[in-house]
Structure 1
Amino acid sequence: MSGRPSPTVRSKRLRRELRRLREERELTIEQVADLAGGEWNPSTLGRWEKGDRRIRPADLRHLLDVYDVHGEQREALITLAREARQRGWWQVYADVLPSEYSTYIGLETEAREMRTYQQQLIPGILQTAEYARAVIRATRPNDGPEAVERRVAVRLDRQKVLTGPQPLRLWTVIDEAAIRRVVGSRQIMREQLDQLADMAERPGVQLQVLPFEAGAHASMATSFVVLGFGASDPNVVYLDTGMSALFVEAPEDVAGYTLVFDHLRAAADSPRDSARVFQAAAQDLA
């Protein structure tokens, strides 16, 4: 956890708590609307629980009255709602961030651990500025220089979660294709590989290369990220298709991606051998 509280995580936690309070009382959304005296329609209550709409402080207090929530629990939920309405550090870049990417950054900012498999690219959280710039120019050819630089700045700022008193625990499996593909130029790629070798020495960072000879595997169709939040919040899987993104939260689906990741890291080179792969690949580009 980076130490930078995330309103995205607070919002996710609040909607989960609102649903829990209703279900503990064995109430349907329609029954809650009736108990509230017609203050809200059922669709509004549903959007609050799904996170499609933020709940206003006055509405939250009224809803907590309906659920008969008082004392410390009530104050904790009101505080949670207030924090969920704050602006995250990434929102100053809203002009260049799709909404799904903003949501992902908000989750990443407060995650305790990340497990990710990447097929074609070095993970964004490990990219050098020049590598990131080359990727953004290739994938967003219509962006002007200023937009490109702002996207690079976001990517570099994301990497702050790897430093500080409670850094993110990172375990990454990178396909050999991402290591061998020259992005930008030979020098840019060499510097990127050197950085990976350096990052592999950090405590709490595990980098593995999935070699070509590993053959077919369970995630040939997609890259993915599993974000873990400890006991405070359930894990979330993030899938980025390039044109859109998907968040997976159903426990059985998250467990499935976690199992796939375990198979991938078992098939990949060890972290020590992977560091040697980074170094050798960098030397090949000298």
Structure 2
Amino acid sequence: MTDEDNATTLPRRQLGQYLRDGRLAVNLTLEEVAPLMQWSASKLSRVEQGKSPGVRVVDVEALCRIYGTDDPAVVAGLVGLAKQSAGKSWWHAFDDVIPGNFDLYVGLESSARTLTIFRPDMLSGLFQTPDYANSFDRIYFPDIADEELSRRAQLKAKRQAVITRKTNPVNVDLIVHESVLRSMAGGPRVMAEQLNYLANMPANVTVRVLPFSAGFPVGISTGPFTLLDFGQDTKGRDVAPTVVYIESYAGDMYLERAKDVARYRQAYSVIQQSSLDVASSKRLLRQIVREYQG
């Protein structure tokens, strides 16, 4: 395996983005912050662009103090990114260094220009109605308080703004397996509301259903995955490498190697060819809504 295969810029790119957001949130310029770190403005700029591989934990902690970032989960998450960025690995299950309540994926999702999503199991949080989401949260967190449940719903609604905002909404290509539509969560009323919501997505979201009759288009189950593309600059170059996000019960994985990204793109293409077209998918969604309302 070559160094190119091993190298990843994901942790330091995300670290840089969070640090830049922190600086802008307190209205400080590069020129104002850099001297406090005994850095040049150009060095701080490189850190924020994810181009500096050697960001120390003490530097991250110092920047957090300058920006007034005192949420322990956020600080721990940024420290974890700094630790992870120092190593070489082509995949990352970040759980060992980044706390679970610091959601790295949401940061990636919010900066993506295009999301390509396959869900054979349940709907992504990006599309969940409050009642559908709550039905899962109450099972997964059996002792959750109503206040915490409400907070989680608010955070999910904020996350969903990336597909509903009027300015530059993210483009989404979504495929869900038919089993997702027929697996009960929260009862018939909740399912009817959820599937009706899915059938009426805005124009920037394309929804297709992989029917039971398609069998196993790829030969084996890929599990759920998301391809995140971050757009191109004025010269037609990718702003950042595409990331494949793989969610699992044990932890999340992020792939960046070109051959891994290509493999998942190919899998998505095969699954898409076996899926119903958009119009037929909407008809099926609305048919199942009527069944739940029956």
TM-score, with structure 2 as normaliser: 0.66
Change (3 A) 1:13 1:240: closer
Structure 2 unaligned regions, length at least 5? 1-8, 17-32, 51-59, 77-97, 232-237
3-state SS, counterpart of residue 200 of structure 2: helix
Question: Contact 2:178/2:211 (CA < 8 Å) preserved in 1?
Answer: yes
Inter-partner Cα distance in structure 1 for 2:125 and 2:73 = 16
What residue in structure 2 maps to residue 216 of structure 1?
A: 216
Give deviations 1:112-143, integer Å, cap 9, x for gaps: 01001111211211111111111111222243
3-state SS, counterpart of residue 285 of structure 1: helix
Give deviations 1:222-246, integer Å, cap 9, x for gaps: 1111111021001111111133111
TM-superposed CA distance for 1:156, in Å, is: 1.5
What residue in structure 1 maps to residue 194 of structure 2?
A: 192
Change (3 A) 1:98 1:121: farther
Count of matched residue positions in the alignment of Structure 1 and Structure 2? 224
3-state SS, counterpart of residue 167 of structure 2: coil
Inter-partner Cα distance in structure 2 for 1:61 and 1:228 = 35
Question: Contact 1:13/1:233 (CA < 8 Å) preserved in 2?
Answer: no
TM-superposed CA distance for 1:182, in Å, is: 1.6
Q: What is the 5 A alignment of 1:1-286?
A: 11-12=12-13, 76-77=45-46, 80=49, 98-99=99-100, 102-162=103-163, 163-199=165-201, 202-218=202-218, 220-230=221-231, 231-286=238-293
> Considering only CA atoms, is the larger Rg found in Structure 1 or Structure 2?
1
Identity of aligned residues (%): 25
Inter-partner Cα distance in structure 2 for 1:270 and 1:191 = 22
Question: Contact 2:14/2:108 (CA < 8 Å) preserved in 1?
Answer: no
Change (3 A) 1:103 1:75: closer
Inter-partner Cα distance in structure 2 for 1:185 and 1:229 = 37
Give deviations 1:80-134, integer Å, cap 9, x for gaps: 47xx9689xxx89969x95486100000011001001111211211111111111
Inter-partner Cα distance in structure 2 for 1:262 and 1:100 = 33
CA RMSD of aligned residues (A): 3.4
Change (3 A) 1:161 1:133: same
TM-score, with structure 1 as normaliser: 0.68
Question: Contact 2:177/2:211 (CA < 8 Å) preserved in 1?
Answer: yes
Inter-partner Cα distance in structure 1 for 2:194 and 2:102 = 23
What residue in structure 2 maps to residue 4 of structure 1?
A: none
Structure 1 unaligned regions, length at least 5? 1-7, 16-55, 65-69
3-state SS, counterpart of residue 209 of structure 1: strand
State the AA in 2 paired with 1:229: F
Change (3 A) 1:13 1:142: closer
Change (3 A) 1:264 1:60: farther
TM-superposed CA distance for 1:59, in Å, is: 11
